[in-house]
Amino acid sequence: MQICHRDLKLENTLLDGSPAPRLKICDFGYSKSAVLHSAPKSTVGTPAYIAPEVLSRQNYDGKTADVWSCGVTLYVMLVGAYPFEDADDPKNFRKTINRIMNVEYVIPSYCKISPECRHLLSRIFVANPNKRIRIHDIMRHPWFQKNLPRDLVLGADPSYKIEDPNHPLQSIEEINRILEEARRKPAPPPPPPEEQTSNTEEDVMLDALDEMEFFDVENSGEFDLSNLR
């Protein structure tokens, strides 16, 4: 469908509940169509998952940037931490962005990750998007192919893609309608009760973002990175 998601992260994935669960993507609020829209330029997404070229404030290939975010998601699943966060200062987003731009990450020695998986991560975490591995190459990578269900092998005709007359596939128009609804700004939440004194984790996160001048979102989902220059 030629769609780039632009906010791929662990929180935007679901398991379908089948005996061999398949990962599905949700929340297409920042997505763009390569057919219907111009090349993306806005710096949107979640800081820990953003590719270097998305921070450049130039046009970029959204699908290639999504590959980077997929690599971050895979790393988080394997390690339980973000690859570009400073372990000693994880809330310092300025450090996180600098580490992303310089592709500074390590795999902890206590994590037993196969050489094939390490190689795949090294092909994903490449600053130059033109040299980064593509989705079709990932699908042929030895780590991806290992123990892959037969119906998911590249070129196979998986049974789960056969249209069920009771549950027909969504039309392009219906998908676009869902995307438009997802882009609508939600109603502001009600103010918390006066007696509430403790901050939730999300509150703490928002407080930290408020303190960072270059995260001037202005309800647009875009970052102002001028202070990093």
Q: Which of 4, 118, 142 is nearest to 67 (CA)?
A: 4
Higher pLDDT, 109 or 211: 109
User: Is residue 216 annotated as a catalytic residue, yes or no?
Assistant: no
Burial (CB count <10 Å: 0-12, 13-18, 19+), residue 153? exposed
Q: Which residues pair with 164 in a beta bridge?
A: 167
Higher pLDDT, 190 or 225: 190
Q: What is the pLDDT of residues 136-194, one digit of tens each?
A: 999 999 999 888 877 677 654 444 344 445 545 556 677 677 767 777 777 777 776 66
Asked if 222 and 44 touch (Cβ cutoff 8 Å), the reply is yes
Q: Which of 7, 89, 157, 164 is catalytic?
A: 7
Asked if 124 and 70 touch (Cβ cutoff 8 Å), the reply is yes
Q: Which of 67, 96, 102 is nearest to 82 (CA)?
A: 96
Q: Measure the CA–CA gap between 185 and 187, rounded to whole angstroms.
A: 7
In order of their start, the domains of the chain are 3-156 (1.10.510.10)
> What pLDDT was estimated at residue 201?
40
